[in-house]
Chain A
Amino acid sequence: MKLDAKIPKGPLAEKWENYRGTMNLVAPNNKRRIDIIVVGTGLAGASAAATLGELGYNVKVFCFHDSPRRAHSVAAQGGINAAKNYQNDGDSVYRLFYDTVKGGDYRSREANVHRLAEVSRNIIDQCVAQGVPFAREYGGLLANRSFGGVQVSRTFYARGQTGQQLLLGAYSALSRQIATGGVEMYNRHEMLDLVKVDGKARGIIARNLLTGKLERFAAHCVVLATGGYGNVFYLSTNAMGSNVTAAWRAYRRGAFFANPCYTQIHPTCIPVSGHYQSKLTLMSESLRNDGRVWVPKKKEDCKKDPLSIAEEDRDYYLERIYPAFGNLVPRDVASRAAKNVCDEGRGVGATGLAVYLDFASAIERYGKAAAHAEGIHNPSAEKIKELGRAEVKAKYGNLFHMYNKITDEDPYRTPMKIYPAVHYTMGGLWVDYNLETTVPGCFALGEANFSDHGANRLGASALMQGLADGYFVIPYTIGQFLSKEIRTPKIQNDSKEFMDAEQDVKSRIDKLLNIGGNQSVESFHRRLGKIMWDYCGMSRNAKGLEEARKMVQDLRKEFYSDVFVPGSNDEFNPELEKALRVADFLELGELMIVDAHDRNESCGGHFREEYKSPEGEAERNDADYTYVAAWEFKGMDADPALNKENLEFNDIELKTRSYK
């Protein structure tokens, strides 16, 4: 199939503006007769549902949580980017666009990224108007900070809870529409299949998680905003419930899955402490504004108390290797550097899989400034530390508090220990410029799609993309599809297609409940995660990927012969929910491996050991791999088919990414 990204003609900076002005509209009287299903209530889903409701469409929105406010966007800590240039430090729409394309290692679609940079400014305005309490300066204006991979301050934040505050903004807009009746909310409903009628997405099958009842929902189109698939690794910073099922089921119904191997390993997470570990906790990237990353120069120092290691015996390796960006290199670069020093045997902590993130210099710097501001002459070292700690607390207090709770260590006095962990997935459902998948009428937003971050996402850009897609893109682009549907009568949910899809879901559930094996769902998930992390994680090679594919296939077979799922379908049954999700992860894992094996280059989060420079940096192959790999489902017994969307860069010159 030839992929058409439907990128509008014209100069890059004018594409979106011109397209918006000429695209098809749906008149208000017709909007009232059109039904839209939105799945997911994170930043992308909640903002889309609220905005589509405001426009007058009939919206049904679904989430598996007990409340839309619990979607995992809530956990984003650091901030949201916007090209406001409030700091007068040289930022612009073009620069945000450029940084994002470069940060993504030239594997994203130019036109989408430029649009993202353009609407980023509207997002901040919208959120402020909703009452999102962003950090402010004493003059009452909005404050900014820096994030990795950029040299300007364009990140807006609300202490370390930016995701929560933005989500509550979108949730409040959604709640307002629910109150008016324009949006109908279905909590504790999990989408288990996409229903197609005459080739178009016309509804979903959802399981009511309270009763187990399968319910058929019909609409003129379906919008998926169901997040990423990082939990395929079992241990990740994702919430326990985050899963790929909705996107995966769309893939099995004909939506192409793009670049599944692009996963982001976040450099600053709390290291694993034991086999019982259920998830990993992120320490916001914003900490790298003030924290310095180091390990001992000598292996024999690794088990010593870090405070006893002299300054000259420390290797601030990011500052040493990447002087231009220092501790603020992009995430993929920082993660690989941490892995390298640990592989050299210079990792710290009980497992040797950790590096230090040290705030001592920041505490001293802030302390001196505060003493100066308060007019204290010749302050004692202790006084400087005390004042400095107070400043650091004001900036990062809740993160330090969280670190202390989890590790029982005091990061104001001893350096934090951190290690990379799976955090975000750049891959996702393939979408065109309208955010429509290869199934007509099925749209994908936010982390669930692939479009904006290429092979690596910059910090504070996930929130930006989720809200851009939901507030400012889909409300327009959905009209391109729906304007042709105004004569389509209400979609009925009892057609053969719906009944068949419901039956398919029922068979999947029965199958799982009837295996009656001996191993828990959790144990399979843990084993899958280990395979993925070892062979398709921070670094990959062809031989390992070939072995891993076989291992995942075998594990899947074992799952379907020996898993035990307690209880029945007709009750609140969290183990069954998990079993359905893990079953899909066991299929996705293989596709990720296939994709990683196909891509014979290193780019962004995808590092193939065979393709690196003498200094160990990633080496892209632009001649052969400047494409989006969009995989097409061909049945469980056949290999997926590769479709390529060639990426054209007309406004940016492809360069080797250098942060040195």
Chain B
Amino acid sequence: MKLTLKIWRQTNANDKGSFETYNLDNISTDMSFLEMLDVLNEQLVTEKKFPVSFEHDCREGICGACSMVINGQPHGPMKGTTTCQLHMRSFNDGDTIVIEPFRSRAFPVIRDLVVDRSAFDRIIQAGGYISVNTGQAQDGNAIPIEKDTALAAFDSATCIGCGACVAACPNASAMLFTSAKVSHLAKLPQGEVESTKRVLGMVNQMDQEGFGKCSNTGACEAECPKEISIENIALMNREYLKASISSDKMG
């Protein structure tokens, strides 16, 4: 198939950036989207040009590295799918595809389609863990956890930290990301102990990083490649309210 690509090029954070147009021919429908970009990059290198920088690693939809907005949608048109798992059969011969980085004040552009998502790490560092040192654990079966509870915690834990929720949100809010971790740990008996401190710390950090507020548009859930439910946000709000009322010492 033949394609026209309009790709955001920006040399560094200070550069203004602009779209560049590229034409590609002989693209197979079995190629992944990133393999299509590999073809473009190999072509650019042959022409002694600087290839398009984009983040990618596992190419199996699990590492969360790939991060681009394709025709206005983070990770492109296919539901529950990361960019690396998107295949060219989702497009038509002759299509024009617009490719941009994830945009948010808290995710500054590094180069082209690569953005800095270290704000997510800092949110986790603000409480997204259970305080247990190595060697302190009791037997794994000492606390039975109801299967449904374990599954619910697992569903929240599947977040890959890609940032599509932020890119999708009109307010660039990180509520889905933050709430997925808060919920994962709050749902488990091991994590419940610190839930007050955790939710206050993580929400505070999220606000400091410059993410926007949640206005319940639901765009995050719709674009999340792991289909993390917006119910996590509701749970986090309850946790936050509970924590704010019950423990003014912690705030």
Contacts and interface: CB of A to CB of B under 8 A. Distances in A.
Nearest to A132: B157
Nearest to A172: B129
Interface stretch (A190-198, A369-377, A569-577, A647-655): A569-577
Interface string A18-33: 0000000000000000
Nearest to B28: A274
B246 interface: no
B134 A47 contact: yes
Interface string B45-80: 110111101011111111111000000000000101
B64 A69 contact: yes
Interface string B142-166: 0111110011011001101100000
Given A133-B154, A134-B150, A54 B134 contact: yes
B125 A179 contact: yes
A178 B141 contact: no
A287 to B, nearest CB: 15
A173 B150 contact: no
B6 interface: no
A523 B122 CA distance: 38
Contact of A276 (B28, B116, B121, B137): B28
A273 B64 contact: no
Contacts of A140: 144-147, 150
Interface string A330-343: 00000000000000
Interface in A319-372: none
B57 A402 contact: no
Most chain B C-beta atoms within 10 Å of own C-beta, residue among A50, A65, A128, A133? A133
Contacts of A138: 147
A66 to B, nearest CB: 6
B217 to A, nearest CB: 26
Interface string A30-70: 00000000000000000100110010000000000111111
B133 interface: yes
Contacts of A402: 60-61, 85
A269 B148 CA distance: 31
Given A67-B120, A566-B45, A131 B38 contact: no
Most chain B C-beta atoms within 10 Å of own C-beta, residue among A125, A138, A273, A575? A125
Contacts of A141: 141, 144
Contacts of B126: 179
Chain B interface mostly:
loop
B127 to A, nearest CB: 8
A520 interface: yes
A129 B59 contact: no
B21 interface: no
Contacts of B150: 133-136, 140
A178 B81 CA distance: 31
A655 B13 CA distance: 62
Contact of A131 (B55, B138, B185): B185
A256 interface: no
Contacts of B208: none
B136 interface: yes
Interface in A138-193: 138-142, 158-159, 161, 163-165, 168, 171-173, 175-176, 178-179, 185, 187
Contacts of B121: 67-69, 175, 178, 185, 187
Contacts of A86: 141
A102 interface: no
A405 B126 CA distance: 36
Given A125-B137, A128-B137, A129-B136, A70 B63 contact: yes
B50 A566 contact: yes
A499 interface: no
B214 interface: no
A521 B87 CA distance: 25
Given A131-B188, A239-B58, A175 B124 contact: yes
A560 B100 CA distance: 35
B165 to A, nearest CB: 16
B42 interface: yes
Interface in A445-464: none
Contact of A408 (B85, B89, B133): B89
Contacts of A178: 121, 125
A281 interface: yes
Contacts of A126: 132, 134-135, 137
Contact of A159 (B114, B154, B161): B154
B191 A67 contact: no
Nearest to A171: B124
Given A276-B38, A408-B87, A522-B38, A475 B134 contact: yes
Contacts of B132: 126, 129-130, 173
Nearest to A125: B137
Contacts of B56: 240
Contacts of B117: 66-67
Contacts of A171: 124
Given A126-B134, A210-B110, A240-B59, A520 B81 contact: no
B55 A66 contact: yes
B118 A187 contact: yes
Interface in B11-38: 11-12, 28, 30-32, 34-35, 38
A561 interface: no
A412 interface: no
A264 to B, nearest CB: 17
Nearest to A470: B134
Most chain B C-beta atoms within 10 Å of own C-beta, residue among A86, A142, A168, A273? A168
Interface in A264-322: 273-274, 276-279, 281-282
Contacts of B185: 131
A172 B128 contact: yes
A127 B184 CA distance: 14
Contact of A124 (B61, B140, B190): B140
Contacts of B133: 51, 54
A552 interface: no
B131 interface: yes
Contacts of A136: 144-147, 150
B130 interface: yes
A423 to B, nearest CB: 12
A471 interface: yes
Contacts of A624: none
Given A75-B60, A522-B42, A567-B50, 5 more contacts: A74-B62, A137-B147, A140-B146, A279-B59, A522-B38
3 nearest A-B residue pairs (beta carbon): A140-B144, A172-B129, A129-B137
26 contacts: A67-B118, A74-B64, A75-B62, A122-B137, A128-B140, A129-B190, A131-B130, A133-B184, A134-B140, A139-B144, A140-B144, A164-B158, A176-B125, A240-B56, A240-B59, A273-B30, A274-B30, A279-B59, A408-B30, A475-B134, A520-B45, A522-B41, A566-B51, A571-B111, A572-B110, A574-B51
